[in-house]
Amino acid sequence: MGAVQKWLPGYQPNGRINLLLFPFAGAQANAFSAWRGHGLKQKIQMCPVALPGRGARFCEPAYDSIPLLVRDFLAEIGTAFFREPYAVFGHSLGAAVAYELTHQIGARGYRKPLTLFLSGRASPEKIRTRSFSHLSDEELKEELRAMGGTGSEILENHDLMALLLPTMRADFKMADDISVETKPVLDVPIHCFSGMQDEYCSPDYMEAWEAHTVGGFQLTAYSGGHFFINQHFPDIVSCIAGDLRQFACVT
């Protein structure tokens, strides 16, 4: 259980639907702490993923490759987790990780997720080619400020940013290194969430995910920019719970 708890702190096998939650670039597992109690009923267990290079795993080197991150995650989590019903959510970089995870799960013959929830991330063929990982420290800070996901009290703390920037750069390198190679179409429902004023990933770009599944597709758009999830998380959580209510008598 040690390796599982390292990646999924607090996880307990208990027969509930597990909801894997992959955070955005630079974020810790606690990025989803506000979600608890907002529509996720007792039959859904939140499983925020703790990535290396932040939080309790700060001393571990951060990954800069999504396929390697997913490979090691699956190797350390083991097969038992995937015998239980589960769904996967990711926002921005987390959505790219969730998508790769779903493909690697399929290649291993593991139980597929009930639903893949993708937020704030265009499908691979729609990804813009602008690179963030090669920006100077000040340019990167300005991009983070423009995105709206990092508070000014953090951005203006030079000592703290000096600690955080290496992990953020590794995360953005993962985000930059996008393969547009053809992957098999998924047989998993995809529900996308988008911000209507998101300059990095418009709802039109999110709609392109429909071509990546034969399992059903839905797009829900909200007002706001790239971090619309901070404003609308109660509604998003309610949507997720509603989608999963059809499985295992979730109430």
Q: What is the pLDDT averaged over residues 10-14?
A: 87
d(C-alpha 4, C-alpha 55), whole Å: 16
Q: What is the pLDDT averaged over residues 30-49?
A: 80
Q: What is the tens place of the pLDDT at every residue in 153-164?
A: 787 788 888 888
Sheet holding 190-195, edge to edge: 44-48, 17-22, 86-91, 116-119, 190-195, 217-222
Residue 100 has pLDDT above 70, yes or no: yes
Q: What is the pLDDT averaged over residues 49-68?
A: 93
Dump the DSSP string for 43-66: TEEEEE---TTSGGGTTSPPP--H
Burial of 166-197, coded b for 16+ CB within 10 Å and e otherwise, reads ebbbbbbbbbeebeeeeeeebebbbbbbbbee
Q: What is the tens place of the pLDDT at every residue in 70-99?
A: 999 999 998 989 999 999 999 999 999 999
The reported pLDDT for the residue numbered 155 is 78
The reported pLDDT for the residue numbered 15 is 77
The reported pLDDT for the residue numbered 166 is 84
Would you list the domain boundaries of the chain? 2-240
Q: What is the tens place of the pLDDT at every residue in 176-190?
A: 766 656 688 999 999
Average pLDDT over the chain, rounded to an integer: 87
Instruction: Count the helix, strand and coil residues of the chain and give each as a percent rounded to the nearest 5.
Output: 45, 15, 40
Q: What is the pLDDT averaged over residues 64-68?
A: 93
The reported pLDDT for the residue numbered 251 is 45
d(C-alpha 10, C-alpha 157), whole Å: 30
- pTM equals 0.90
Q: Give the CATH fold of the 2-240 domain.
A: Rossmann fold (3.40.50)
d(C-alpha 167, C-alpha 238), whole Å: 31
The reported pLDDT for the residue numbered 38 is 60
Strand, helix or coil for residue 74 = helix
* CB distance 16 to 43 below 8 Å: yes
